């Protein structure tokens, strides 16, 4: 049997009025759905990213903790090694100081022993020196007495020497009076001329010039006297004449056919007095005489 629902009341009206027609939904609702979906996706992505970040932070924290633990172990190990090295260094320093102290004490003992020995030796030497000085004083007293005697004798000898000197001076003065001046080969009045050894010694005593004797042989070539050089070119003993080559100031001058005791004169560069060559004796291929140089020879310009 089929039951039929009666939708009308007793008056014949419908118990359930017909629903009003709903308006159609537009496309806006689709966009809302899309936005919600996108938001959900973003939330999911954000959750995943946050989860990954938390994982990375956990890993980083674990790595940091491991590194800190390793660093702590290294620091602890380094501290232990440093302490060991410090202990070894302290022990070495202590051993070195002890060794140095022992060596210093040994050196001090050795030095003290040496000093004591030296002081003892110096005491003996001082005693010996005192005895020696006492002996020397006795010798000095005796020598003083002997010296007084000798001084008295020497005083007499000095008086004798003074007399001899006075006599020599008189002889030189007498010889000097016998010396003479002549005109040289250059027409210049010469200094005092010596004709023999005695007169030459008298000239040296007067000291007006520097005198140097010579004995020149023809075969000997150039003969150096001071700053000049002489060479005998010709000697004639019968006529007492000679020819002489003079080399001075890098110049060669021939003094031809000069006579005995004639001053052969020439000037050196920068001088105001002539150099004089005096030949006292002419032999066969040989001449004997002296050279008279001015006392002061100015330097060459």
Whole-prediction pTM: 0.43
pLDDT, tens digit, for every residue of 262-283? 999 999 988 888 999 999 999 9
Count of positions (residues) in the chain: 301
Helix H or strand E encompassing 54: helix 28-178
Backbone angle region of 172, left / alpha / beta, with phi > 0 → left and psi within -120 to 50 → alpha: alpha
Both tokens of 80, joined, read 């232990």
* DSSP letter assigned to residue 220: G
Question: Cα separations (Å) of 181 from 25, 147, 176, 192, 193?
Answer: 170, 51, 11, 5, 6
pLDDT, tens digit, for every residue of 139-183? 877 776 776 676 566 556 646 545 554 554 454 455 445 577 888
């Amino acid at each position: 049997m089929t039951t039929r629902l009666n939708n009308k009341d007793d008056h014949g009206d419908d118990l359930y009025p017909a629903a009003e027609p709903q308006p159609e939904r537009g496309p806006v609702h689709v966009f809302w759905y899309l936005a919600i979906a996108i938001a959900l996706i973003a939330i999911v992505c954000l959750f995943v990213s946050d989860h990954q970040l938390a994982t990375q932070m956990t890993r980083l924290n674990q790595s940091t903790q491991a590194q800190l633990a390793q660093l702590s172990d290294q620091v602890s190990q380094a501290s232990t090694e440093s302490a060991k090295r410090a202990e070894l260094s302290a022990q070495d320093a202590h051993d070195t100081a002890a060794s140095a102290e022992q060596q210093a004490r040994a050196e001090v003992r050795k030095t003290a022993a040496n000093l004591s020995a030296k002081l003892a030796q110096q005491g003996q030497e001082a005693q010996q020196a005192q005895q020696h000085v006492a002996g020397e004083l006795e010798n000095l007293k005796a020598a003083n007495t002997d010296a007084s005697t000798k001084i008295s004798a020497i005083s007499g000898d000095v008086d004798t020497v003074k007399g001899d000197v006075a006599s020599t001076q008189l002889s030189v003065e007498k010889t000097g009076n016998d010396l003479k001046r002549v005109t040289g080969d250059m027409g210049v009045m010469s200094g005092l001329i010596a004709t023999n050894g005695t007169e030459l010694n008298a000239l040296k005593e007067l000291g007006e010039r520097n005198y140097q004797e010579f004995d020149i042989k023809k075969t000997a070539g150039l003969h150096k006297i001071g700053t000049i050089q002489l060479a005998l070119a010709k000697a004639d003993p019968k006529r007492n004449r000679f020819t002489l080559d003079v080399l001075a100031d890098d110049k060669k001058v021939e003094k031809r056919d000069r006579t005995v005791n004639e001053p052969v004169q020439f000037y050196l560069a920068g001088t105001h007095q002539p150099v004089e060559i005096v030949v006292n004796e002419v032999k066969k291929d040989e001449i004997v005489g002296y050279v008279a140089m001015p006392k002061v020879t100015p330097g060459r310009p």
